[in-house]
Amino acid sequence: MRMVAPDRYVFLYDFLAASILVLANVHGYRDTLGAPMAVVLWYGMILLVTALYHVFLVLALLLSKKQPKFFLYLPLVGFASLSIATFIVNFFYALMVGEPYTFEMASRHMLFNVAMGVLFETIFMLFVFPKVISRIAPEEAGTVPEPRPAPSRILSIAGRSFPVIDIISISSQDHYLEIAMAASKELLRGRMADVLGQLTETDGISPHRSHWVARAAIEGIGGKSGAKTLMLSNDTEIPIARTKLADVKAWYEG
């Protein structure tokens, strides 16, 4: 509603609504005030109702943050806004015509104004509101921030953390693991079985029981017949076990 209220279509609708009320000479304001002042009075009432509507919505929003179970029946917002606006507008009307401002004067036309307000609000929600929203939506779409990239998955070895995306290969040496990355290598105590349990086929493959290779680091399959290797981006080669050769080829080509 905060975004819809300042739209030019809303101001045009408000002006047309006020003009209809003046032309219909509702409550006889045109006879006692003249057409120009009647327009000011009715248009002022419409803007006042709109302002009060927003105030009640903001108060309801603030209250709902403190009381999660709180809810507000929306027609009550319109009823409260119109009731208060009627008291205020009748006060200014009394000043203009020099009539005493009594409770009867203040509450005059209350039920009629509420019924009229429901009618105009219904027309607004059915015909004006959707048109304004359709104009605002494309503009808002351009201001939506781009989604952040998903954080890199982490591989944990001997209490250390390594982004999977940074790893080229992991090789087992007795009870230690050599983690090769683009700019460095790490030698940590660990088991290959524990590492493989944290990785998936999307991340890479284990072509040999002592090695694991990242998919993104593989540049091709090389070596002589019967002694194939995976050629990596860091100019190293990882042996492929004969029993795994067919699986490695199918995985790589797939």
CB 231 within 8 A of CB 217: no
Evaluate if residue 159 carries a pLDDT over 70. Answer: yes
Q: Which domain holds residue 104?
A: 8-143
Predicted confidence (pLDDT) per residue in 83-106, tens digit: 999 999 999 999 999 888 888 888
Shared domain for 205 and 96, answered yes or no, is no
Which is nearest to 39 in space by CA: 26, 49, 54, 51? Answer: 26
Percent of the chain residues past pLDDT 90, beyond the cut? 37
Q: Which of 98, 119, 143 is the last residue of a domain?
A: 143
**Is 2 within the bounds of a domain?**
no
**Is 148 within the bounds of a domain?**
no
Q: Which of 118, 143, 168 is the last residue of a domain?
A: 143
Shared domain for 179 and 122, answered yes or no, is no
Shared domain for 22 and 133, answered yes or no, is yes
Evaluate if residue 124 carries a pLDDT over 90. Answer: no
Check which CATH number belongs to the domain holding 208 and give it. Answer: 2.40.50.1020
How far, in whole angstroms, is CA 251 from its chain's centroid?
39
User: What is d(CA 48, CA 42) in angstroms, rounded to the nearest whole number?
Assistant: 10
Provide mean pLDDT across the span 245-254.
89
User: What is d(CA 49, CA 78) in angstroms, rounded to the nearest whole number?
Assistant: 8
Predicted confidence (pLDDT) per residue in 49-69, tens digit: 989 988 998 888 888 888 877
Enter the tokens of residue 148. Answer: 């952040």
Q: What angle do CA 32, 34, 38 make, to 5 degrees?
A: 90
For the chain, the distance separating the N- and C-terminal CA atoms, rounded to the nearest angstrom, is 53
Provide mean pLDDT across the span 175-185.
91
Provide mean pLDDT across the span 112-125.
87
Evaluate if residue 111 carries a pLDDT over 90. Answer: no
Shared domain for 62 and 28, answered yes or no, is yes
Reported as a pLDDT band with limits 50, 70 and 90, residue 141 is very low
Q: Which of 122, 143, 164 is the last residue of a domain?
A: 143
pTM of the model: 0.51
Our count of domains for the chain comes to: 2
Tell me what pLDDT residue 144 has: 52
Provide mean pLDDT across the span 228-247.
91
Shared domain for 167 and 104, answered yes or no, is no
Tell me what pLDDT residue 139 has: 54
Mean pLDDT value across the chain: 87
Overall size of the chain counted in residues: 254
CB 211 within 8 A of CB 204: no
Provide mean pLDDT across the span 153-176.
91
Shared domain for 44 and 166, answered yes or no, is no
**Is 149 within the bounds of a domain?**
no
Shared domain for 12 and 137, answered yes or no, is yes
